[in-house]
Amino acid sequence: MSRALNDHAGGTLFGVALNYQGLLNSHLQSFNQPPYQKPPTQPVLFIKTPNTRNQHGAPVVFPQGVERLQPGPALGVVIGKRASRVSVEQALEHVAGYTIVNEFSLPEDSYYRPAVKAKCRDGFCPIGPQLVPAAEVADPHALEIELRVNGERVQHNSTANLVRSIPQLIAEISQFMTLDVGDVLITGTPEGRVDVHPGDQVEVRIRGLGCLANSIVTE
């Protein structure tokens, strides 16, 4: 039985950049040039601050003075048991369950270190509507994920294409920082991000997790 997500409110929201294979592939050439010289060897993390928290059915504000806004459909992994230096094998024991995240962002040139200004606008991280317990998700690496804008499917992928699996992410991140109960790993947005505009209805659907719907509004 799924729980309301509020049971786990207040945790840190960890974004993972470049975690879909198609997205990473499309940037490999530029990553092999200066200043990077090589693709990232570690998960590229960013933080969605608490002011970004938003929920199913609530509006997402298209900020004044901004040219472009992009939704970021993602599978959210909610930590259920404190994780410090856990192994890949034990990582999933620390997962309470799964939810849907729409990680809104202003588009950026650089993928290496996403900017607070692009990622942390108020309301830029709808989460929900439900936390589906881990036991009810047969395989979190085989979930169809799609983004619909005004009813039309504009992104379509599968968590089978994650670069780093959920256990790998938990193991790698927990090597250098403690993940706490209620923290959420936003496991990545697939390639093909699209622009949305005020008036648009945006839905992220993940098979088995439901639908997270938000409307884009002006201030």
Residues of this chain that interact with its own copies (CB under 8 A) are 12, 14, 34-35, 42, 45-47, 49-51, 63, 84, 110, 112-117, 120-122, 176-178, 180
Query: What's the residue count for the chain?
Result: 219
Find the shortest distance in angstroms from Cβ 138 to its own copies: 31
Rounded distance between C-alpha atoms, residue 147 and residue 46, angstroms: 22
Strand order in 201-206's β-sheet? Answer: 59-61, 210-217, 201-206, 144-149, 152-158
Which CB atom, from 88 or from 177, has the smaller least distance to its own copies?
Answer: 177
Which CB atom, from 47 or from 58, has the smaller least distance to its own copies?
Answer: 47
Which CB atom, from 35 or from 151, has the smaller least distance to its own copies?
Answer: 35
Find the shortest distance in angstroms from Cβ 210 to its own copies: 28
Rounded distance between C-alpha atoms, residue 65 and residue 42, angstroms: 34
* CB distance 38 to 159 below 8 Å: no
Find the shortest distance in angstroms from Cβ 209 to its own copies: 25
Which CB atom, from 2 or from 12, has the smaller least distance to its own copies?
Answer: 12
Neighbours of 109 (CB within 10 A): 4
Find the shortest distance in angstroms from Cβ 24 to its own copies: 18
Find the shortest distance in angstroms from Cβ 120 to its own copies: 5
Which CB atom, from 13 or from 95, has the smaller least distance to its own copies?
Answer: 13
Q: Would you state the structure tokens that stand for residue 172, as one six-digit string?
A: 């790698």
For residue 16, report the phi and psi dihedrals to the nearest 5 degrees.
-120, 120
Q: Would you state the structure tokens that stand for residue 55, as one six-digit string?
A: 């929920």
